[in-house]
Structure 1
Amino acid sequence: MNNRIMYWLRRGLPILLLLIGPKLQADIVYPARLQLTETAPGVYEVFFVLPVIQGKILRAQAVFPEFCSSYSEPVTEVDSYQKKMRWQISCGENTLAGQQIGIDGLLGSQVDIMLEINTLDGRIYGSTLSPARAYYTIPEPPAFKDYVQIGTFPAGRFVLLQWGLAVLVLLYFLIFRNPDFRLLLITLSGGLALGFFLDHNEWLLVPSWAATLLPLGAAAVISLGAFVKKHTQNQAIGKTLIGICGVLAGAGFMEEGTPGGYTSAESGILLGFACLGFLLGTWILISIGRQTSRVLDLCPDSFRRTFILLFSGLALGAFLWQMSLFWVVPSMLPAIPLLLHSYILILVFWTFYSKVKMPDWVVWAGLIPGFVLGFSGLDIPYSPAIILSLQGALLLFIFFGKNPSKFWV
């Protein structure tokens, strides 16, 4: 009976997988934006785009400071979707810092307008104007106190508010008693700084739930090895997990409300002050964990062992509780392409039914160049069709029980 079931699974599921393909959908987007680019001192080129919805153009006008005046006549282009206007304004020797720029006429509409201001000194201001918030105040250039208020204090406070990370660090000290304080400090603070740097450059996008859920999962993992004899190896694994969780947590710092208009040099200074805050917050967090462990050292070993078991159970329970959110709100799960689902299932079939084993380095040899191409902004043309074709070929080999050569694999 089991052989018949496996036979039909081998014959039927590959056919179903062949039917899996990408769905192409097209969304109609009505882009609207106001872009100012400083081309000469005090002279800005204005690019204003309004949507055409059901044949009607939104009656809205750009509003600039009173000391700004038109420098050239607007050039207008209208099609079935957009109304584009280009002209220049002159603001003289006045600075735009502290002034308001906005849109008049958005009330009663549901259109959001993207605002972007580029200056000659490299500052880029961005915001989204809506009927409820139709004006944007250009911030002043940052001073020393701004770096401390925006970078150091929030970064230190951010670390102390990561309760999932606090549970992981405390459990690490409880299990391994007296780990290297300085190495752990460098690992966690360095991970936080690296995550913030990657997120600031938009090289790493982490969902908001990851900063709490993953440290709790890591705490549950290292608690499983609390009473295993390979103490040193488990400690290294725990330290690695703390560094990874630090990267994921740091990527969520200042995700919203980050001030705009910083030059590249000012962004670097802000990163340095944020790293100082990460270091201070991590030092306080690790110090609390170390002192808690030292207090428990004064208790009998049986009490310490029981406390570790209870705290590990608490971490596991908190992890399962956080995981329950995905059952309640399935939209929180990351969108995984169907091609990836089918590829994983095909690899499972290949493992069970093929006599030609696929080396692990083959998978990594494909993933690493793929990530490099993705970070570089390059794309392989017709990649979905190529992937479907290769998956179909593998399924045919599985279906007919043929074994291709290792070179073909």
Structure 2
Amino acid sequence: MNNSFKKFIFLVLLGICLLKPADFRADIVYPARLELTETEPGVFNVFFTLPVINGKVIKASPILPGTCNNLSEPKITGTAYSKNLSWKISCNEEPFYGKQIGIEGLQGSQVEILLVINLLDGRSFNKKLSPSMAYFEVPYPPGFLELLKTGTFKGARTMLLQHYFYLLVFGLIFLLKVKNRKKYYLFLFLSILTGYFLGNFELIKIPGWMFPVSVLIALLLLGLKTSGLQNIQFSSLLILVPGLFLGNLLSIEKIDLVLTPGEELVFAIFFSLGIALGLLLVVILFSQLKNILKYFKVYKKFLPALSIIIGSLSLGLLIFELSLFWRTTSMLPQIPGISLLFILLIPLLISRRNLLASGFSFAIFSVFGLILLMNGFSIPYAEIMLLGLILLSLVFNLLKPVTPRIFFLVNITIGAVLAGNILGSYANDNLSFPLARSIGYLAMAIFLIGMIAGILPKRSTSKMYHRVWGLLLLSFGLMFFGNLFLEEYFDSLASEYVNGILPVPILSLILLIFTIIAWPRNRRIHKQMNLETRKPLLSISLLVLALILLPFHFGIKNPWYEAQKLDKQGMKLVMENVLSNTYTAFNEEDEEKLFEALSQNVDAELLDNVYLDSRRRLSMGLREGAEVSVEEVKLNELGDPAQKTDSDIFEYPVKWTVTARVRHLKHIHYRKNSYTGTVALKSIDNQWKISKISLSSEDRKVMAASNL
């Protein structure tokens, strides 16, 4: 008892010593800059920028080490807002370590200069120079012992600063029953380590809320299971997912040392040692507390109340953490709704005996779909196919008591591939680090599948829960169906119609005929034999397929179509289609395909002007390396046509908006360009093309992806 109590007090005091306040860093944009880049041993390119204030340049000059000599004269360039000087120096192959670099002439000004030094060994120094601190001494490289001390201390301290980490370990020690605890803690450490190194290599990135939310969900279910209030199947392997998230959060911790790539690897190893030390300290701390309770023989009596307390605390904290989403809606998870619906469907289909295998199957096939997307293969009509699979699964679940094994295998394989491909496509279009963020969301999906499957009772014991869950998902599926078809499909039908095309959904018509034929009928002989009418499982499945396959139709030319006889609503659809096709043509990387798409919507005499002007306006003000793609073209207003100069030409005053996605290396934002002008449409062989376009005003706005 005495030894356990002493260890407990010692660990508490040690933890308090390590919990000193965390520091924070922020990036600042500097109008003045001194940059030295080493190109050869001892040879540097120097770039010096000074701001122009009230038409005058600050009289400041760089102070370099005395061993450095100019190899070239400074070349002066600049703009109305800055003066730039660039030249080359030689420092006799002597390293900069221990030497001072600064700026002379800042006294009496408020100018701050960013000093950047890039060395051949991979080190990069960034320092702010100000009138009060105008010099920077380049530090010597850290030694092995300094890396060991800093890395270990930083790893342990960072672990012990994670508040939910304490709650997680406390719940594992007091509530989770495992046969080999030492082995389990080793697996937990390896999951944290995996998240840490994957985060360092930018292979997984998660939002900050994922770790606390996953911990609180796990502890809530553990509390319910231990207290006996709910019969829950809880897989101890699911705790490894919060460990993965914790490691990913640790990977974003900033370090003060400037390291080479090799030193960064050594530091990461010592940081991992600190993680192990922090985990060990907390495990020993709570284990000793558990031993104290056992010594006084109150542990078993205390356990039911403790499980209720932990469950209640987890529920309250979970509500608090989730309140972030309705206070700040832009923080909502960036997950396609159709993929989320499939994730919620899987627990309904799987049985408890194959929970682990189902989770791994989903992980493997969804990652496969993600890899296909990242390698440039986007599955055509993936959303429609996945929606059809979901609706068929829900029909089977409601009408058939037991899901056939082959049907489940088809769901988990094809559905997971489609869900991963859709998630990757969405992340690639809207998020920075799309691969890393997609993997993070898939890890959370596996965690949710396991948790929901553990909560749902077996179908044999309670059909009501499965029926309610299935009806809830079916209602969401029908909402997605309505959103997908009412907004997109019927708009496309109207667009085809005003362009002289009659859509014929031949596949849907054939399936509809088979639906009617296969519908079960209650004949007289069935009534006489007191036989129940069989459930229309096949017919409803065929009907679902018929609805899903509506977009796959044949287009035939409308023999009664005359372009000149369209009303204003029809011309509005035509104008929006032509403008949309014109702008989205610039998403083509192949110039020949781009011109071919433009030629189908723009008159030949106007083609070159439209190409050059649209390309200039879409890329105006962009940095080098940025990628632009048109996402949406919306017609805001179509006025009355002007006086016709030709029977085939209609000229309209128009207002329209073009939304384009701009992808930079580290982030994505959107541009909304609003235009006002006149657009003339010309009918050439019953096909509308732009024959004239003139702009009277243009307004550009930059928007964050979350505010779109």
Per the normalisation by structure 1, the TM-score is: 0.69
- Deviation, 1:31, is 5.3
Contact 1:162–1:212, Cα closer than 8 Å, also in 2: no
Indicate whether 1:288 and 2:285 are aligned: yes
- Deviation, 1:138, is 1.9
- Deviation, 1:171, is 0.8
Distance verdict in 2 for CA 1:65–1:163, change over 3 Å: same
- Deviation, 1:326, is 7.5
Amino acid at match of 1:249: L
For 1:236, the equivalent position in structure 2 comes to: 237
Contact 2:388–2:548, Cα closer than 8 Å, also in 1: no
Aligned counterparts, 1:50-129, within 5 A: 50-52=50-52, 55-106=55-106, 113-129=113-129
Distance verdict in 2 for CA 1:103–1:177, change over 3 Å: farther
Aligned counterparts, 1:260-275, within 5 A: 260=258, 262-275=259-272
Distance verdict in 2 for CA 1:209–1:369, change over 3 Å: closer
Distance verdict in 2 for CA 1:363–1:104, change over 3 Å: farther
- Deviation, 1:51, is 4.0
Bigger Rg over Cα: 2
Q: CA RMSD in A?
A: 4.2
Distance verdict in 2 for CA 1:276–1:72, change over 3 Å: same
Mapped to 1, the partners of 2:44 and 2:131 lie a distance apart of 25
For 1:305, the equivalent position in structure 2 comes to: 304
Distance verdict in 2 for CA 1:204–1:49, change over 3 Å: farther
Mapped to 2, the partners of 1:326 and 1:131 lie a distance apart of 44
- Deviation, 1:204, is 5.2
For 1:258, the equivalent position in structure 2 comes to: 256
For 2:388, the equivalent position in structure 1 comes to: 357
Distance verdict in 2 for CA 1:92–1:187, change over 3 Å: same
Mapped to 2, the partners of 1:192 and 1:107 lie a distance apart of 50
Amino acid at match of 2:488: L
- Deviation, 1:165, is 0.5
Aligned to 1:193, the other structure's residue is in SS state: helix
- Deviation, 1:77, is 0.9
Contact 1:63–1:103, Cα closer than 8 Å, also in 2: yes
Contact 1:52–1:81, Cα closer than 8 Å, also in 2: yes
- Deviation, 1:396, is 3.5
For 1:8, the equivalent position in structure 2 comes to: none
Mapped to 1, the partners of 2:135 and 2:332 lie a distance apart of 38
For 1:43, the equivalent position in structure 2 comes to: 43
Aligned to 2:388, the other structure's residue is in SS state: coil
Mapped to 1, the partners of 2:88 and 2:169 lie a distance apart of 56
Indicate whether 1:156 and 2:156 are aligned: yes
Contact 2:173–2:286, Cα closer than 8 Å, also in 1: yes
Aligned counterparts, 1:132-147, within 5 A: 134-147=134-147
Aligned counterparts, 1:312-323, within 5 A: 312-321=311-320
Mapped to 1, the partners of 2:550 and 2:130 lie a distance apart of 59
Mapped to 2, the partners of 1:192 and 1:103 lie a distance apart of 45
For 1:12, the equivalent position in structure 2 comes to: none
- Deviation, 1:268, is 1.0
Note the alpha carbon deviations across 1:214-235, whole angstroms, 9 max, x for none.
544543354344444445x342
Note the alpha carbon deviations across 1:232-259, whole angstroms, 9 max, x for none.
x34232x23432332243234x32x431
Note the alpha carbon deviations across 1:34-84, whole angstroms, 9 max, x for none.
221222322211122334466554444323234434332111111234422
Indicate whether 1:395 and 2:394 are aligned: no
Distance verdict in 2 for CA 1:179–1:160, change over 3 Å: farther
Aligned counterparts, 1:25-36, within 5 A: 32-36=32-36
Aligned to 1:357, the other structure's residue is in SS state: helix
Mapped to 1, the partners of 2:340 and 2:428 lie a distance apart of 23
Per the normalisation by structure 2, the TM-score is: 0.43
Note the alpha carbon deviations across 1:74-96, whole angstroms, 9 max, x for none.
11111234422111223225321
Distance verdict in 2 for CA 1:290–1:38, change over 3 Å: same
- Deviation, 1:180, is 3.3
Unaligned runs of 5+ in 1: 1-28, 349-353, 378-390
Contact 1:37–1:118, Cα closer than 8 Å, also in 2: yes
Mapped to 2, the partners of 1:74 and 1:392 lie a distance apart of 61
Mapped to 1, the partners of 2:188 and 2:104 lie a distance apart of 48
For 2:169, the equivalent position in structure 1 comes to: 169
Distance verdict in 2 for CA 1:334–1:396, change over 3 Å: closer
Mapped to 2, the partners of 1:48 and 1:263 lie a distance apart of 25
Note the alpha carbon deviations across 1:115-174, whole angstroms, 9 max, x for none.
332222332223444566544332211112211221012212222232210111111221
Distance verdict in 2 for CA 1:249–1:122, change over 3 Å: closer
Contact 1:346–1:395, Cα closer than 8 Å, also in 2: no
- Which structure has more RCO (C-alpha within 8 Å, separation ≥ 6)? 1
Distance verdict in 2 for CA 1:162–1:107, change over 3 Å: farther
Distance verdict in 2 for CA 1:35–1:65, change over 3 Å: same
For 2:549, the equivalent position in structure 1 comes to: 405
Aligned to 1:95, the other structure's residue is in SS state: coil
Note the alpha carbon deviations across 1:313-332, whole angstroms, 9 max, x for none.
2344344455667788x5xx
Mapped to 1, the partners of 2:203 and 2:114 lie a distance apart of 22
For 2:273, the equivalent position in structure 1 comes to: 276
Aligned to 1:136, the other structure's residue is in SS state: strand
Distance verdict in 2 for CA 1:265–1:404, change over 3 Å: same
Contact 2:198–2:248, Cα closer than 8 Å, also in 1: no
Contact 1:61–1:105, Cα closer than 8 Å, also in 2: yes
Amino acid at match of 1:259: L
For 2:690, the equivalent position in structure 1 comes to: none
